[in-house]
Copies of this chain bind each other. A is one copy, B any other.
Amino acid sequence: MPRIVIIGCGFGGLFAAQALKRAPVDVIVIDRTNHHLFQPLLYQVATAGLAAPAIAAPIRYVLARQKNTTVLMADVVGIDKHARTVQLDDGQRFAYDHLIVASGATHSYFGHPEWQAHAPGLKTLEDAFDIRRRVLVAFEQAERVRDDAARRAWLTFVVIGAGATGVEMAGMLAEIARHTLSGEFRRFESRNARVILLEGGPRVLPAFPDDLSERARRQLEKLGVTVWLDSRVTAIDERGVEIGGTRIDARTVIWAAGVAASPLGRALDVPLDRAGRVIVNPDLSIHEHPEVFVIGDLAAVTIDGKEVPGVSPAAKQMGRHAAENIMRRLRGEATRPFRYRDYGTLATIGRKAAVAMLGPLKLSGYPAWLTWLFAHVYFLIGFRNRLVVLVDWAWAYWSFTRFARVVIEPMRGHVSDHNKEDPS
């Protein structure tokens, strides 16, 4: 039986694998993690609103009944498109007849890799745990230090980049400071914490039309977020950020500005765009290798002069489309070009605050937030997760508590860099 190897089990890889369920093929799905992640809610794990298992479904469990499919938890370190093999971290090689590369994207620090240590991004559960720890520990440190300037730096949170993730993170951080933690500290009031959202461009949520951007900005400020537009970060260190000549002392900085395609794109040795994404043929295959498909955030697809955005509905559609094109090739038929169906764009900001664009319809505030809520719960993989997430949210909504306020790692005599004690 022809063997299809799928690298990465995000939305693209998972939908490709599921589309091959009844096909007379041998499917191998390889992912570095053991779970499919519902990335649109990852910011909720990072901000202590949800526990990790609520948004992570074991890949093996999701595909258990798909008997033609083998799941491997492994890191792919190389692709040989001439020999038609992929190589794992342990040296094992798997031959393929068709390959789907869906390894997604990672953070880009615009030529400043040293910023990563001080300003983590949010792509994986590991990232979310790191951010959750930093945020919760910052408030804890503020209760410990005795110097006012040091306390103020621990209580200043900077989010860099006002795309969907940056806006969500800033909105949630403001809610944590204003509501969740209010009244729990003895040496300061958490409401006085500052959340600053820095955006290099002239408006927040640049994927939305001007008027919705402006409404989003107003909703953010109402929630307590300070928005700085046209503010490009020029330096980040352990103690804060600089915007040109202006310095902000902040012990917690979150990166939501740049995305770079997975390095596996380079392994294919084909033309890439500026963000490192693979420029694919209209049918999603790569140049001179019709048996290799690239999908999701790793693929640069332009249809009628318009770029397909790096969002989960696009990845799902590409996954299904690549699987169908493989089936066509196996039947000796011609492949078909990918068409992107845009169902709309949503961005949440905070409690009752969101913006949405559904075809000609523009929403903001409470109606947009309700739309966002139901769309996301509906699309969560697996019934159980959906139920638990709803219960958690209902609880959080009414009580203002965030139940996942857990720092896994204890304080230790030798504390980590981020937790390093002030001389104050």
- Chain A interface residues toward B at CB < 8 A: 32-35, 51-54, 56, 58, 60-61, 64, 70-75, 77, 88-92, 124-126, 129, 136-137, 140, 143-144, 146, 181, 183-187, 384-385, 387-388, 391-392, 395, 399, 401, 403-415, 421-422
| Nearest 3 CB-CB pairings of A with B | A51-B51, A90-B421, A32-B410
Once the chains bind, are A144 and B51 in contact (CB under 8 Å)? no
Select A32's contact among B129, B143, B412, beta carbons within 8 Å. Answer: B412
Report Cα–Cα, A187/B124, bound state, in Å: 28
Expressed in whole angstroms, the minimum distance between the Cβ of A183 and any Cβ of chain B is 6
Contact flag A403-B32 (CB < 8 Å), given A64-B183, A73-B137 = no
The answer to whether B34 touches A406, judged by C-beta atoms less than 8 angstroms apart, is yes
How many copies of the chain does the oligomer comprise? Answer: 2
Which residue of the partner chain B has the closest CB to A130? B408
Contact of A395 (CB < 8 Å), options: B186, B384, B399: B384
Residue in contact with A61 in the complex, picked from B91, B395, B405, CB distance below 8 Å: B405
Q: Contact between B415 and A35 (Cβ–Cβ < 8 Å)?
A: no
Residues B89 and A421 in contact, CB atoms below 8 Å apart? yes
**Smallest CB separation, A344 vs chain B (Å):** 30
- Measured between C-beta atoms, what is the minimum distance from A407 to chain B in Å? 5
With CB as the reference atom, state the residue of chain B lying closest to A140: B73
Assuming the contacts A89-B421, A144-B90, A401-B61, asked whether A408 and B184 have C-beta atoms less than 8 A apart, the reply is no
Q: How far is the CA of A165 from the CA of B423 in the complex (A)?
A: 42
Determine if B406 and A53 form an interchain contact, defined as CB atoms under 8 angstroms apart: yes
Residues on B with beta carbons closer than 8 Å to the beta carbon of A90: 144, 421-422
Q: With A89-B421, A186-B70 known to touch, is A403 a contact of B64 (CB < 8 Å)?
A: no
Say whether B410 contacts A61, CB under 8 Å: no
The CA of A223 and the CA of B129, in the complex, are separated in Å by 35
Chain B residue at minimum C-beta to C-beta distance from A403: B53
The answer to whether A75 and B34 touch across the interface, beta carbons within 8 angstroms, is: no
A415, B124: Cα distance in complex, Å: 17
Taking a contact as CB atoms under 8 Å apart, the answer to whether B411 and A143 are in contact is no
Closest Cβ neighbor of A137 among chain B residues: B73
Interface pair A411/B183, CB less than 8 Å apart: no
When chains A and B are docked, how far (Å) is the Cα of A392 from the Cα of B392? Answer: 13
Nearest neighbor of A141 in chain B, beta-carbon distance:
B73
Contact across chains for B126 and A410 when beta carbons are under 8 A apart: yes
CA A61 – CA B186 in complex, angstroms? 12
Question: Which residues of the other chain, B, contact A388 by a CB distance below 8 angstroms?
Answer: 388, 391-392, 403
Q: Which residues of the partner chain B approach A34 to less than 8 Å between Cβ atoms?
A: 136-137, 140, 405-407
Between A and B, 19 residue pairs with Cβ closer than 8 Å are A51-B52, A52-B52, A52-B404, A52-B406, A53-B404, A58-B406, A60-B184, A61-B401, A64-B184, A73-B140, A74-B411, A89-B412, A89-B414, A89-B421, A90-B422, A125-B406, A129-B408, A388-B388, A388-B392
